[in-house]
Amino acid sequence: MTTQTSTPPETAAPRPHGVAQSRGLFDPQILRQATKEAFLKLDPRVQVRNPVMFVVLVGSIVSLAEAIGHPGTFTWSVTVWLFLTVVFANFAEAMAEGRGKAQADTLRRMRTETEARRLTPGGDEVRVSASEIGKDDLVVCETGDIIPSDGEIVEGVASVDESAITGESAPVIRESGGDRSAVTGGTRVLSDRIVVRITAERGQTFMDRMINLVEGASRQKTPNEIALTILLAALTVVFLPVVVALNPFGRYAGAAPAVVILVALLVCLIPTTIGALLSAIGIAGMDRLVQRNVLAMSGRAVEAAGDVQTLLLDKTGTITLGNRMAAAFLPVGGHDEAEVASAAQLASLADETPEGRSIVVLAKERFGLRERDLGDEHTFVPFTATTRMSGLDYGDRRIRKGAAEAVRRWVVEQGGAVPDDLAPVVDGVSRQGSTPLVVADGDEILGVIELKDVVKQGIRERFDQLRAVGIRTVMITGDNPLTAAAIAQEAGVDDFLAEATPETKMELIKAEQEGGRLVAMTGDGTNDAPALAQADVGVAMNTGTTAAKEAGNMVDLDSNPTKLIDIVEVGKQLLITRGALTTFSIANDVAKYFAIIPALFAATYPQLGALNIMGLHSPKTAVLSAVIFNALVIIALIPLALRGVRWKPSSATSILRRNLLIYGVGGVVVPFLFIKIIDLILTATGAY
């Protein structure tokens, strides 16, 4: 007998809050750390990874040299704001990273150094440090123990507190065998005794991977992000010789522009806004998934989620509530509903499944059947996968309920006959999307119990929204085709796969991918692992097996199959945010052209004065206003980059139209307004 003991205060792990604890956008701790990181990232070895901001840094250094050689208020002002442009870009990235690092620090505090009870080959227990535990070791965990590393239960069953991972305070049951045997290092055993075989190498536990992922240490640029970085670098390379060539042209025209002004022009011409925010957008996308308790093993997976065109969704627990409930008693062969209800309730008294309990409740509500006195001469017959029936032997009566074919066969073996009206009733229940259970008393079939699988409220509307953005939904179920078709029609999915097996899932995924579509699916069992690995976005449930979690490229810590729809929305939001801010960045360069180009050559070519449509006070205030706006707009857009542009399910044409209207037109109008305001402020100071 296991005795429950309390953990001493000095060794008790701090109460965890889960990886997805919410951090405010302007959390003081994150702000302080991000400010420090913004200056540390001025290291050229760091900046060279971002070609656009590296050019801005080099330009700032050139401007600094010019300010030292030819000091002046204007020169120093431009130099300071150019450096601040780089600092603000670093700050944006540091803010995005800081949120992840704060979560990683929380995880590190939860991962306490503890002792483990390792089993020797002879069966003895040896206490060792958890850091000494390696793959394939067997460890014993009892009430109050911290599970030292990831593994699978090979003996016993226990209640486990996984709040350190999921943030959920409710304990879960883990047991040997099946798909509920996986346990995670850092979680606590609340009751009973289990033997765990360690499946993770040292330093490669799930907690270690979580820490690396949420703090961004293992983040790799996604293909789209790399492509956009190349485009931004190309635009920078194009503008660089153009600006350099302005110096000899200016000398020829008798108005050689100052080096500081040329640097300012280059910085304002190249896409600094999106160059500064690009990394932050990608990091924030993964952070938004973490806040939904989903760990993406790579940024590529998050991006792929935004491009998904086919969703494979399990019926049970995703599209339906999962627990089938008794809805009706349907008599056959001349019997009445009360007979069916009475026999069905007797056969279900020992059935502790949700379906069994619902049959008992329905019989009680419909016919007042309660407190059945069975006496001593009765035996409950449990359900088995072989018989596919359960029931009760009560005196001379043998009552059974179960699958239609199994009960038919059992009745025939008893010498009875199958009523002619049974098949139409069974088929009718199946066509409605419900599950038929046949009830028999000895050699007589009394009727059918209709178990209704309830479709989740609002799920049809969500599928309609996904269809509007070109995403095809496919329901995966083990039900027969008739039942699957009825549920699919009620839920509003585009297609379904009935009587699904691991092989048919794989075939479906490959067929979709061969058609040029990206596929996302969820799974939790070892038999789901091949399909999870094949899918472009494979979301493994945290309650699933180790094989499933290793095969997928995302892990849902809440083990909620409907989370797949949220993951797609986060991916869409990431792509739209990147596109919106790219549009804004390119559009707001237009106003800078109208500010700086007239300032360069207006004295030599008075005709260029017509381009000064903002009526800026002087060439110096015009250049400085553009540079200041170029720096401040980065700070202004950080909240949008971190939170993401709001996404509403709509067609690609509608999204493009809204993007161009808000961020295209807005990107042109906003700079004109604020550059003029900055110019008025600079003019009022009288320094220029």
At residue 35's C-alpha, the angle toward residues 34 and 41, to 5°, is 80
- Active-site pick, 145, 314, 479, 589: 314
Q: What does the buried/exposed string (b/e) look like for 48-66 if buried means 16 or more CB atoms within 10 Å of the residue's CB? A: eebbbbbbbbbbbebbbeb
Is 386 assigned to a binding site?
yes
Is 524 assigned to a binding site?
yes
C-alpha to C-alpha distance for 153 and 139, rounded to whole angstroms: 10
556 is catalytic: no
How far is residue 546 CA from its own chain's centroid?
19
447 backbone dihedrals φ, ψ, rounded to 5°: 170, -160
Instruction: Give the Cβ contact number of residue 111 at 10 Å.
Output: 20
Parallel, antiparallel, or unpaired for β 310-314 and 472-476? Answer: parallel
Give the burial class of 123: count Cβ atoms within 10 A of its Cβ; 0-12 exposed, 13-18 middle, 19 or more buried: exposed
Is 388 assigned to a binding site?
yes
Q: Alpha-carbon Rg of the chain, whole angstroms? A: 33
What is the distance between the terminal CA atoms of the chain, rounded to a whole angstrom? 86
C-alpha to C-alpha distance for 514 and 187, rounded to whole angstroms: 42
Strands (E), 91-162: 115-119, 125-129, 138-141, 151-161
40 backbone dihedrals φ, ψ, rounded to 5°: -65, -30
Question: According to the 3-state scheme, what is the secondary structure of 205-247?
Answer: CHHHHHHHHHCCCCCCCCHHHHHHHHHHHHHHHHHHHHHHHHH
Is 300 assigned to a binding site?
no
C-alpha to C-alpha distance for 16 and 168, rounded to whole angstroms: 10
C-alpha to C-alpha distance for 499 and 477, rounded to whole angstroms: 6
Is 389 assigned to a binding site?
yes
User: What distances in angstroms separate CA 314 from CA 61, 146, 400, 528, 548, one per listed residue?
Assistant: 58, 33, 30, 11, 15
Parallel, antiparallel, or unpaired for β 310-314 and 519-523? Answer: parallel
Helices (H), 152-214: 163-166, 206-214
- For tokens 């808000």, name the residue: 662
- For tokens 């999921």, name the residue: 166
Is 383 assigned to a binding site?
yes
C-alpha to C-alpha distance for 530 and 316, rounded to whole angstroms: 20
C-alpha to C-alpha distance for 299 and 553, rounded to whole angstroms: 10
Q: Residue 541: helix, strand or coil by DSSP?
A: strand
Q: Residue 403: helix, strand or coil by DSSP?
A: coil
Instruction: Give the Cβ contact number of residue 40 at 10 Å.
Output: 10
Instruction: Give the Cβ contact number of residue 481 at 10 Å.
Output: 14
59 backbone dihedrals φ, ψ, rounded to 5°: -60, -35
Is 355 assigned to a binding site?
yes
Give the burial class of 6: count Cβ atoms within 10 A of its Cβ; 0-12 exposed, 13-18 middle, 19 or more buried: exposed
Helices (H), 381-523: 404-413, 422-431, 459-468, 481-491, 502-514
Tokens read off for 638:
């950080």
Is 390 assigned to a binding site?
yes
Q: What does the buried/exposed string (b/e) look like for 230-265 if buried means 16 or more CB atoms within 10 Å of the residue's CB? A: eebbebbeebeeebeebeeebeeeeeebbbbbbbbb
Is 150 assigned to a binding site?
no
Binding residues: 351, 355, 383-390, 401, 524, 528
Binding residues for ATP: 351, 355, 383-390, 401
Q: Which residues are catalytic?
A: 314
Binding residues for Mg(2+): 524, 528
